[in-house]
Structure 1
Amino acid sequence: MKQLFLPILTALLLLAASASAQREAARITGSLTDRVNREPLPNAAVALLSAQDSAVLFTTVADGKGAFSFRSTPPGRYVLSVTYLGYTPLARNIRVDDTTRLLALGTLALLRKGVNLQEVEIVEEKPPITIKEDTIEFNAGSFKVRENALVEDLLKKLPGIQVEKDGTIKANGETVKRVLVDGKPFFGDDPKMSTRNLPADVIDKIQLIDRKSDQAQFTGIPDGETEKALNLTIKPDRKKGVFGRASVGYGSDGRFSVQGNANRFRNTQQLAVVASGNNVNNTGFGGSGGRGVMMNNANSEGLMRNWIGGINYSDNLAKGLRLSSSYFLNDLRRENEKRVEGETRLSTDSSRFTNNLNGSLNGTTNHRLNMRMEYDIDSFHSLIVTPHVAWNTGNAYSENQNTTLLNKDTLNTGRSLTRSSSNTPNLSGSALFRKKFDKKGRTFSTNLTFGAGGSDVESINQSRTAYYEQNAVSEVDTIDQKVTQRNRSNNLGLRMSYTEPVLNDRYLELNYGYNYNFSSSDRRTFNRSKPGEGYDEPDDSLTNSFSNVYSNHQAGLSLMTQRLRYHYTLGMNVQFNSLNSENLTKHNEIRQSTVNVSPLAHFNYNFSAKKRLRAAYRGQTKQPTLEQLQPVPDNSNPLFIKEGNPDLRPSFSNNVNISYNAYNQESMRSFFAAMNGSFVLNQIVNATSLTNDGRQVTRPVNVNGSYNLSAFVVNGFSMNQGQDRRTAINTNTNLTYSREVSFLNGRQNFTNTLNLTQGANFNYSYKELFDIAAGGSVNYNRARFSVDKRNNTDYFNFGLSLDFNINLPLGFIIGADVDYTANTGRSEGYNLQYTLMNGFVSKSLFSKKQGQLRFQVYDLLNQNVSVNRTVSGNYIEDVESRVLRQYFMLSFSYFLNSFGGKASRVVGGAPPPPM
């Protein structure tokens, strides 16, 4: 297979090189002036479009004297398009012959808007990238994708955008947390629901947004709260019909995959229905006819069967009233096997080793209902209500075999079995009311948040553990128990904010917040009074009823300054915390009060529309969980016992973020750099105690001295190398340094961890013939321990990937993706090298290519594995999990594109599909 793969790759590269050499490039020059006064027009946008399909091939910007040039233009027919603010766009047909070396267009005069145009031809020219205040807008038609591609495939073509194997989207190194469709939520906040369902050819624009908070959008005053979001706008002609896809596949070893979706967009109304099922480890919606070969299941732990269904509906119900809602159902079953080896260094010459074999079978059913209602009461008042309902049920079964060694001597061996069932309902939501006053900048808002939920869990714990002395069994401990745990939680929050303009371009904000959280836990443990009969004997030592009330008052004052190029916020927050924990079983109570004072600072500076610097500081309080507070041991695994600590105090983190972003619209080059720091007071960590017979007991405690520092740089650029040829390159560098505090048998240890990753990926496409994506990464990890230097460890991870597709005559497409992974510095048996290779061949069917037959193979070399290492405190753990191995599948897909009316041809956009 390797002997076959390398010649194919070499042939593809030679084909690209020979295609580039077939035509000599020419230089095109010209200058732009005002038609009336003959003054130059600096910074005008100039583009070369394909005369065949109006796709944007080259872009540039005129210099200070209005001059422009295209240096390397291959022979062909083009449309020269010029746009300038306040002037009527200009278009001119030009031709570059094989013998042309220089095409001088001379002076081109533009008319101010309102002038009689007569001989000037007007087109709707769409540049590939447009930069606005907080938005980078990509014209989808400027980035070619193959037939029936998904939005996810389109995103991979955009400079500065990365799509991970699991579908996670990163823009300039930051994770995109929200994807909107025409400005509205699509199946809640899960980005993959839109990127893996919507076809690429219905998208008009992709807008990368630094999305402000709802409060800042209403007042127009930046508050420093932003998140990366994508907004997908639908082409107007695609809002007059129904589109979607359906596919069914069956393969070897009983593997199957079925999925379908249907979408209808009409004016402001959105209706989408999705459904899928598979047993090939696809947790969402995978590519079926797009660029991706398989279904993003590489290295997923265990074997999964998944059923999914959902409906999304959005519309403007009345003037100023907008509704977005969705219901989602997910039924997942996962079967897994794990081999775990861990080492705990006790001293310079002593280590404890744990070997664990685990088999598990888990099933969960999840219902989610999301809704967002926005009501603009009038130009001064608005209301946003967002209720959420979730209900989870689950069943779990696991078996464990454990062995613990002290150096080479056996301390214990054991087997355990756990069965459990759970029911977890949850209701939450918020209501935000906002008011503007007549005086600009004077606003008032109040936000009410609420939540109610809990869980009911019933489990059976059975185990038999043998303890050794001098390699002989000294004691056998048997556990056979039933545990019921009932948790409940209710929370209510209120935040009010008032802004007042002071001086010039300055605003004063006063805010007050109150939060109340009540949680309770009732844990009951029962033994069998007689073997083989029911669990009827209460175990008082493992039974406890516990309640916890946490509340806080927060008050803040900040001054916000907004100028043309920059804006900043300086303020101070004071938070009063109260914690009241009551042990209802033992009739004792713990009360705590803390005060946190933290400054608040945000600074944004715009060097230009394309360069931006941001800096921010924020303090944040985090409360201990109910499980961490409840003083009852969890002995579901008798060798790893977890205890709660009702004396825990809230932690407080100080977070600093600095970032710089630059985007060159002409060269389509992006640069992003960021540094982040976090220092935590009263951090909650697990203190570990090891008994002489090999048990491990953990108990959460508060510590100081931990921190985390990180920096990353992302550099991306796209190159047009001729008509219908495009190259995109992205590099990323990540550096993380952290210090963790841990305790082992009462002894404090500091673990300093360094992680350095360098990655790069490359995309090249040539006309409709083929496209290639290649990438690589090197990851270095170093851990240093303060107590025992023998624990110090260094290890590497290496990764290479290749993905290519080739269009053949008669509607055939072949493609493959290859991922190579190598690990070094691990425990014996975990330094693995493996190659995951997938491939497919597909055939378009029917006259309009609405059908597709595909044969695909997953893990062609049958080498897929999953290996992970964790370093924490003075403990190192290596885990190997069961994964999906080789299978073959034959599938059929049908693409529905039913649109009413005739789609208009737009210059710079993708042509409409044949009807």
Structure 2
Amino acid sequence: MKRTLLTFTFVICFLQGYSQSYIVKGIVQDTSGIPLTGTLIKLKWAGDSLATAADINGAFSFNNVKWPEFNFSAAFLGFETFMKTYKITEGNSLNIPAITLKTSSNTLNEVVITAVTSIKIGEDTVSFNAAAYPVRQGDAVDEVLRKLPGVKVDVDGNVTNQGEAITKIRINGKDFFGTDVATAIKNLPADIIKNLQFIDDYGDQARLTGIKTGEPEKILNLTIQEDKKKGYSVRMSGGLGNQDRYNTYLRGNTFKGDQQISFDGTINNTNMRGGGNGITNTNAVNTNYRNDWGKKFSADAAYGFNNRKNTTLTKTFTQNFLENFTRRENASTNNSSNNFSHEFSGNMEYKPDSLNFFKISPRITFNDNSSDNQGLYDIAQEDLITERTNLSGTDATSLNMSTNLFYNHRFHKKGRNISVRGNFNYSEGDNFRNVLNNYLIKQSGNDSTRIQNQLIDNVNDNFSTWGNISYMEPLWKKNYLEFSYSRSHSITNTTRETSDIVNTQPVLNSDLSNEYEYQFTTNRYGLSYRFIEQKFNYTLGLNAQPTLLEGRNLSRGIDTRNKTFNIIPSARLSYKFSKQQALQVNYWGRSNQPGFLQLQPITDNSNLQNTITGNPDLNPEFVHSFNARYNQSDWDKGHILYANLALNQTQDKIVTTKVLIPNTINQVTSYTNTDGFYTVRGDYSYGVPFAERKFTITYSGSGALNNNVAFIDQSKNIAKNFIVRQEIEFEVDIKDVIDAELETSYSINTTRYSQETFEDRKTNTIEIEFRGRNYFFKDLTLGYDLRKTINSGFDNSIIKNPTILRLYTEYRFMKGNVGALRLEAFDIFDQNSGISRDVFDNIIIDRQVNRLGRYFMLSFNLRLNKFGGGAVTRN
């Protein structure tokens, strides 16, 4: 009887222990305290087990442990496996103290397969763990970016994420090299980066208060590994090639806690950082500094100088669809330019206490540009043919100075907040042109000539201010009301002076000269209701916006005055289904003022084939914008899905009007307001890594519908432009063996017109690129980049299907492989040319420009790296 009772008691205890669920949590890190993302965590007990991978913060959690005593193991490649038995004696949870893994002294005899957590989805942030996307030692950040799903890096260093351009780089939340993204991603060594965070940045107010309004800016924030915050890195290269090609640069970074100094200098004539079109010589210097002086004050500053000399040869074929015929133009131009630019930007932040925050952000830019242009233009229209020879020279300077101000105060009552923002901006510009046109007019068998020589000087200056105040009041838990008011005001003065050259002397043409001033004022009153919680938040708002556009023709004493009033609903929804799944929906509205050339009521006849006259009666545009974005990821497997949908509809869209004067060479272009303009765009990207991320397949595509409106000979014409693109990318990444990607895409571009006399247009483009590197004997690298473009449907013979191949081999040597010799061959088939098609209302422009052709270069590269007090090593 006693034995039966004991047995029964044991069974009851067993069943109770087995049926109860326990929670086990903890973090795993290395000896320096850095989280070991992707560490394989296993729990084993009688007859069962659980496994997971540590997340991007090194944390792990089990919510369904069935036995209070279990064997625990933590394994990460390159580290000694941690094993221990734990027993839960109180309650139903156990928080394991931080587990520290030690570096393994012999990793060759042990193979540990780990699921590295590569991606983390936030409300406005997608964060990639750099360790999950390893690159070759010595690579810069740009090579990591090329591996990230949904991210593109073009040949000029421009970065896009989910189809949106990255406008700014930050390091640990601080601006880095201002807006020069290409310099930033080339400057930083990849192996000091911990995370790469793509952020929809709504500004400082959103960061401090959670109040998010308007259209965000897409930025990239790079976080530095803790043990790499003290030290330096230096990269230098010198290369010489045939055809007098050269490329030299020096890049350096020093880190000392919160202090960082960076430098980038380059001299080259290989089109690097100078743009892809034409032949470019570049001399550039960029510096960046940031520091925290205690906990209250921090600052960062950047300065950039760029001297860019460019020669561009362009051929264009333009089809201008009019009511009864198509006006066709063949053009060939040779343009040489020399541009000098200076840019200074910075931020100063002051936080005297936990309730107040001040920030000031000045920016100054100056440009000095001179250019000379030679052009030949043939225009055919019905029985009239015009040949124009153009010689023109331009000298232009511009100065822009602006300052952004921001102040935020948090009250002691949670959620109560007031923010004040402001901007002051002054700009001035002077554009002087000397234009000589020689016309040969052929009509009905009669030929005539006309020569026109003008001096045109456009001077403009603008002063604008903008201010905003918003106050947030908590109603009850998670519910808030926001009151806001903003005002913007700008004053623009433009002077146009045109002189005709008569007997080699300039004579003022008062009909083509003018002084014009206009002011644009906008007031916006807003009330918003906000619901905010961890997984779900939304905003519903209503705004009233009156605008006033006033213009005065100072030369002729004519005034214009246009008033508009808009009621603008606003909405924002953010729902985080899980830590790996998020949805955002936004709607907002904004006004766009006309440009001063669009408003000036005078004629620019420097090109008699297309004279342009402004319209002082223009209304400002008003744009309604809707955007929906969905992100999903699998942290363990590394799958990631992006999907975006955007809709923009414009009221009072400013469009061109074109009227051809019968039996003349002249087409008169002006501007008017119209409705019916909208664009719809959707895109997606889905990346699937497999075989321990040695291989990745990414499917991506996009579609866009543009409803363009134009007036041709007083008749309204709607051009529906539809573009669809599908792409597949296959990536291979086997450490010290191969790092390559094959990318193929197919796109269709179709335009349909509302007027029956216009023929529909359709073009197709196939693009194939195979890019990668193979590694031999640890020190030898073979690199390649093969691109093939196949175009069809273009109407002129200049369009080609180029095949572009670049090859290089690199040998690393010296202690620590800090030195490298590289032999490169660019555009081996000598077929590099820029080809594009642009569609505007009733105009299609096919364009081909020259680009740098075949050349060879031998260069020496040196990379030094010292962080955390260690020895100098390769990056």
1:428 corresponds to 2:402: yes
Q: Is the 8 A contact 2:343 2:363 kept in 1?
A: yes
Q: Is the 8 A contact 2:364 2:402 kept in 1?
A: yes
Tell me what 1:356 maps to: 331
1:812 corresponds to 2:780: yes
User: Which amino acid counterpart does residue 462 of structure 1 have in structure 2?
Assistant: L
Tell me what 2:10 maps to: none
1:716 corresponds to 2:687: yes
Out of 636, 649, 662, the position equivalent to 1:666 is 636
Q: Is the 8 A contact 2:440 2:449 kept in 1?
A: yes
Alignment of 1:777-788 (within 5 A): 777-788=745-756
User: Which amino acid counterpart does residue 589 of structure 1 have in structure 2?
Assistant: D
Out of 834, 849, 855, the position equivalent to 2:823 is 855
Q: Is the 8 A contact 1:681 1:703 kept in 2?
A: yes
Q: Using the alignment, how far apart are the partners of 2:868 and 2:573 within structure 1?
A: 49
Tell me what 1:791 maps to: 759
Tell me what 2:110 maps to: none
1:163 to partner: Cα distance: 2.8
Equivalent residue of 2:179, what SS?
coil
Tell me what 2:367 maps to: 392
1:541 to partner: Cα distance: 1.2
Equivalent residue of 2:183, what SS?
helix
Equivalent residue of 2:511, what SS?
helix
- Residues 828 and 106 of structure 1: CA distance in aligned 2, closer, same or farther (over 3 Å): same
1:483 corresponds to 2:456: yes
1:370 corresponds to 2:345: yes
Q: Using the alignment, how far apart are the partners of 2:781 and 2:465 within structure 1?
A: 56
Q: Using the alignment, how far apart are the partners of 2:87 and 2:565 within structure 1?
A: 65
User: Which amino acid counterpart does residue 584 of structure 2 have in structure 1?
Assistant: R
Alignment of 1:4-43 (within 5 A): none
- Residues 391 and 589 of structure 1: CA distance in aligned 2, closer, same or farther (over 3 Å): same
* Larger displacement relative to structure 2 (212-221 or 642-651): 212-221
- Residues 481 and 549 of structure 1: CA distance in aligned 2, closer, same or farther (over 3 Å): same
Alignment of 1:540-559 (within 5 A): 540-559=510-529
Alignment of 1:871-886 (within 5 A): 871-886=839-854
Q: Using the alignment, how far apart are the partners of 1:678 and 1:181 within structure 2?
A: 33
Tell me what 1:343 maps to: 319
Q: Using the alignment, how far apart are the partners of 1:172 and 1:42 within structure 2?
A: 38
TM-score w.r.t. structure 1 length?
0.85
Tell me what 1:620 maps to: 590
- Residues 121 and 690 of structure 1: CA distance in aligned 2, closer, same or farther (over 3 Å): closer
Out of 130, 134, 141, the position equivalent to 1:144 is 134
User: Which amino acid counterpart does residue 182 of structure 2 have in structure 1?
Assistant: K
TM-score w.r.t. structure 2 length?
0.89
1:83 corresponds to 2:72: no
Alignment of 1:107-122 (within 5 A): 109=86, 122=101
Q: Is the 8 A contact 2:863 2:874 kept in 1?
A: no
Q: Using the alignment, how far apart are the partners of 1:886 and 1:63 within structure 2?
A: 62
Equivalent residue of 1:264, what SS?
strand
User: Which amino acid counterpart does residue 874 of structure 1 have in structure 2?
Assistant: N
- Residues 546 and 89 of structure 1: CA distance in aligned 2, closer, same or farther (over 3 Å): farther
Tell me what 1:264 maps to: 254
Tell me what 1:302 maps to: 278
- Residues 737 and 108 of structure 1: CA distance in aligned 2, closer, same or farther (over 3 Å): farther
Equivalent residue of 1:378, what SS?
coil
1:627 to partner: Cα distance: 1.1
- Residues 160 and 588 of structure 1: CA distance in aligned 2, closer, same or farther (over 3 Å): closer
> Cα deviations across residues 196-230 of structure 1 (Å, max 9, x unaligned)?
11111121222333444311221244547644332
> Cα deviations across residues 454-490 of structure 1 (Å, max 9, x unaligned)?
10122111111122221321x4221112122211100
Out of 204, 220, 225, the position equivalent to 1:214 is 204
1:240 to partner: Cα distance: 2.7
Q: Is the 8 A contact 2:585 2:626 kept in 1?
A: yes
Q: Using the alignment, how far apart are the partners of 1:372 and 1:889 within structure 2?
A: 40
> Cα deviations across residues 770-815 of structure 1 (Å, max 9, x unaligned)?
1211101101011001113542111101100001211112722111
- Residues 94 and 426 of structure 1: CA distance in aligned 2, closer, same or farther (over 3 Å): closer
Alignment of 1:634-653 (within 5 A): 634-653=604-623
> Cα deviations across residues 379-438 of structure 1 (Å, max 9, x unaligned)?
11111100100111100111111111124x442111111101011011011111111111
Q: Using the alignment, how far apart are the partners of 1:741 and 1:895 within structure 2?
A: 55
Structure 1 residue runs without a partner (length 5+): 1-35, 72-80, 96-104, 285-296, 904-911
Q: Using the alignment, how far apart are the partners of 2:656 and 2:44 within structure 1?
A: 62
Q: Using the alignment, how far apart are the partners of 1:275 and 1:549 within structure 2?
A: 42
- Give aligned pairs, total: 827
- Residues 443 and 93 of structure 1: CA distance in aligned 2, closer, same or farther (over 3 Å): closer
Q: Is the 8 A contact 1:258 1:276 kept in 2?
A: yes
Q: Using the alignment, how far apart are the partners of 1:63 and 1:623 within structure 2?
A: 67
Tell me what 2:377 maps to: 402
User: Which amino acid counterpart does residue 451 of structure 1 have in structure 2?
Assistant: N
User: Which amino acid counterpart does residue 363 of structure 2 have in structure 1?
Assistant: H
User: Which amino acid counterpart does residue 443 of structure 1 have in structure 2?
Assistant: N
1:569 corresponds to 2:569: no
- Residues 410 and 108 of structure 1: CA distance in aligned 2, closer, same or farther (over 3 Å): farther
Out of 113, 128, 137, the position equivalent to 2:117 is 128
1:229 corresponds to 2:228: no
User: Which amino acid counterpart does residue 703 of structure 1 have in structure 2?
Assistant: T
1:690 corresponds to 2:660: yes
* Larger displacement relative to structure 2 (499-508 or 263-272): 499-508
1:899 to partner: Cα distance: 3.6
1:640 to partner: Cα distance: 2.2
Q: Using the alignment, how far apart are the partners of 2:357 and 2:154 within structure 1?
A: 38
Equivalent residue of 1:833, what SS?
coil
Q: Is the 8 A contact 2:722 2:749 kept in 1?
A: yes
Q: Percent identity?
A: 25
Q: Using the alignment, how far apart are the partners of 2:701 and 2:461 within structure 1?
A: 44
Equivalent residue of 1:510, what SS?
strand
Equivalent residue of 2:817, what SS?
coil
User: Which amino acid counterpart does residue 450 of structure 1 have in structure 2?
Assistant: F
> Cα deviations across residues 598-652 of structure 1 (Å, max 9, x unaligned)?
1011111111121112111111110001111111222333322222111110010
1:110 to partner: Cα distance: 7.5
Q: Using the alignment, how far apart are the partners of 2:530 and 2:76 within structure 1?
A: 52
- Residues 664 and 116 of structure 1: CA distance in aligned 2, closer, same or farther (over 3 Å): closer
- Residues 133 and 704 of structure 1: CA distance in aligned 2, closer, same or farther (over 3 Å): closer
Q: Using the alignment, how far apart are the partners of 2:44 and 2:659 within structure 1?
A: 70
1:466 corresponds to 2:440: yes
User: Which amino acid counterpart does residue 147 of structure 1 have in structure 2?
Assistant: Q
Q: Is the 8 A contact 1:55 1:141 kept in 2?
A: no
Tell me what 2:13 maps to: none
Q: Is the 8 A contact 2:41 2:73 kept in 1?
A: no
Q: Is the 8 A contact 2:182 2:273 kept in 1?
A: no
Q: Is the 8 A contact 1:822 1:831 kept in 2?
A: no
Tell me what 1:249 maps to: 239
User: Which amino acid counterpart does residue 375 of structure 1 have in structure 2?
Assistant: Y
Equivalent residue of 1:323, what SS?
strand
Structure 2 residue runs without a partner (length 5+): 1-16, 104-113
1:887 corresponds to 2:855: yes
Tell me what 2:790 maps to: 822
Equivalent residue of 1:597, what SS?
strand
* RMSD over aligned Cα atoms: 3.3
Q: Is the 8 A contact 1:791 1:874 kept in 2?
A: no
1:717 to partner: Cα distance: 2.3
1:700 corresponds to 2:677: no
Alignment of 1:36-75 (within 5 A): 67-68=49-50
- Residues 480 and 133 of structure 1: CA distance in aligned 2, closer, same or farther (over 3 Å): closer
Q: Using the alignment, how far apart are the partners of 2:855 and 2:355 within structure 1?
A: 60
User: Which amino acid counterpart does residue 897 of structure 1 have in structure 2?
Assistant: N
1:681 corresponds to 2:657: no
Out of 559, 573, 577, the position equivalent to 1:607 is 577
* Larger displacement relative to structure 2 (319-328 or 626-635): 626-635
1:177 to partner: Cα distance: 3.1
Equivalent residue of 2:614, what SS?
coil
1:172 to partner: Cα distance: 4.0
1:334 corresponds to 2:310: yes
> Cα deviations across residues 118-153 of structure 1 (Å, max 9, x unaligned)?
xx8746999533636444443323322112111010
Tell me what 1:845 maps to: 813
- Residues 109 and 173 of structure 1: CA distance in aligned 2, closer, same or farther (over 3 Å): farther
Q: Is the 8 A contact 2:42 2:73 kept in 1?
A: no
Q: Using the alignment, how far apart are the partners of 1:61 and 1:738 within structure 2?
A: 54
